[in-house]
Amino acid sequence: MSHPEPNTVSDPTAEDASTGTDAQPYGPRETADPTAASPDPAGPSGEAPADDTADKPRWRRDATIFLGGQTVSLFGSMLVQYAIMWHLTLETKSGGVLALATVFGFLPQAVVSIFGGVWADRLNRKVLIIAADASIAVTTLALALLMLSGTDDLWLIYAALAIRSIGAGIQMPAVSSLLPQLVPVSRLMRVNGINGSIQSAMTLLAPAVAAGVYASSSIVAIFFVDVVTAVIGIGLLALIPVTKVLRTDVAAGEKVGYFDDLVGGLRYLRGHAFVRWVLGLYAVVFLLIVAPSYLTPLMVVRTFGEEVWKLTANELAFSFGAILGGVLLATWGGLKNRVAMIVGATFVFGVLSVGLGLSTNMWVFFTFMFLLGVAVPAFATTSMTVLQETVEPDRQGRVFGFVGIVMALAMPLGMLIFGPLADRYSVESLLIVSGALMFLVIAIAVLVPSGRRAMRAADAHSSAGA
């Protein structure tokens, strides 16, 4: 992977990420430190050079094949997730069983993600993704064969969920950090927007297909479908030439241990104020918006009625909004000032959360759910893109490992907090409180030193690029 020459930045607030002093808030800089990583190809502004597509002439083909393979693989995985939860619900009717399934499905990913991020920076990311996908497929196939033979003990399902979760923890950092190897920096936002729309569409399609297959056949049939989709995904990924990322944070010929890399990733986060700011904001907002949104079906039932079509409309409103938001982002490309877009989307989350809590009309409520879906890509996709634009390629795996931890823990941790509260207080009041807390988060985010530096730097670079 080729990179332009470093951009020299004389910002007096900048710091070297490996030393722990204050980091350049928005994009890497040139430094005399021999262990410092190469600068971001986009430069400190987060905007790619106009001709950066020339370095990757096959990027459209590679990105299409990569996203196509990941979409097929994701589809199979989502089928299995729905099928297992339905199967356990119907066969056991036990809340404890479902709780354990959730733990086995999320916790291993959270634990493994940080280690998977290190592997993504040390190994060929394509090989790592293929190995994780293959391991998940073999596990699913083994479970299918065991269930065909009449063995369907709960511990087998729990074990399969745990192994699949481990595979996801290894895979997620590699997938997130591989995309910038294939796509020019100037196209990352658009490609991430397309990817987000595809994933949102899968949330509409997968439950319907899973229900059809499960009703007409069995859960084993869904397992076999997942194995086939994994094989297709692996085959498509194998068509893309991917080289191991060149390490610029170590001297030529120097051997760095695995745990040295792990510590190096932690030191990088501690020293890079802007990356730390993005990750912190991402974690808090994810916690405040994901869990309350999962409680909206409960509000629909309590306030607007128990009809199934109302619950369906609630889910469809959000999913169609998320699809539209991704399409708009892919078409528009987002604001040049990524920081303003992240902060603005967080403010919109707060407004919409309060609006949901105050809604007394069902159709107004569904409208707010639709708008919430539209706003999600503006925050989530922009956050991921700015990390891809800012973090050096040979450190992206470790950074996205931390993102994987947030994604794996946000929903169960949030439900652990908001779920019991929903039994004591109305969902409406929780949504209003969540929205109010979002405004507080914005105030803190823009007032902390790293936030102020990020806003100033983003404003300056956006003005310079105007």
State the pTM of this model.
Answer: 0.77
Average pLDDT over residues 318-341: 89
Average pLDDT over residues 296-319: 87
Residue pair 139/163 in contact by the 8 Å Cβ criterion: yes
pLDDT class of 30 with cuts at 50, 70, 90: very low
Question: What DSSP designation does 25 have?
Answer: S
CA distances from 156 to 81, 147, 400, 420 (A): 15, 9, 30, 30
Closest CA to 339 of 277, 268, 399, 405: 277
Residue 276 has pLDDT above 70, yes or no: yes
Residue 112 has pLDDT above 80, yes or no: yes
How does pLDDT run across 350-388, given as a tens digit for each residue? 999 999 999 999 999 999 999 999 999 999 999 999 898
For 381, residues 6+ apart whose C-beta sits below 8 A from its C-beta are 189, 192, 193, 196, 326, 329, 334
Beta strands in 274-350 (DSSP E): none
Closest CA to 63 of 212, 220, 239, 326: 239
How does pLDDT run across 159-208, given as a tens digit for each residue? 999 999 999 999 999 999 999 999 988 888 999 999 989 988 888 888 88
**3-state class (DSSP) for residue 205:** helix
CA distance 330 to 336: 14
CA distance 316 to 297: 12
Residue pair 275/269 in contact by the 8 Å Cβ criterion: yes
- Maximal CA-CA distance, the chain: 68
Full DSSP string of 233-255:
HHHHHHTS--PPPPP-SS-TT--
Integer distance in angstroms from the first to the last C-alpha of the chain? 29
pLDDT class of 461 with cuts at 50, 70, 90: low
Q: Which of 9-23, 216-230, 357-371 has the lowest mean pLDDT?
A: 9-23
Average pLDDT over residues 427-439: 92
CA distances from 428 to 33, 93, 172, 435 (A): 53, 28, 34, 11
Q: At residue 6, what are phi and psi to the nearest 5 degrees?
A: -60, 150
CA distance 241 to 178: 11
CA distance 307 to 323: 25
Residue 328's Cβ-side half-sphere holds a number of Cα atoms within 13 Å equal to: 16
For 225, the enclosing helix (H) or strand (E) is: helix 219-238
Determine the pLDDT at residue 44.
Answer: 38
CA distance 466 to 462: 6
What percent of the chain clears pLDDT 70, i.e. is strictly above it?
Answer: 85
Q: At residue 451, what are phi and psi to the nearest 5 degrees?
A: -70, -40
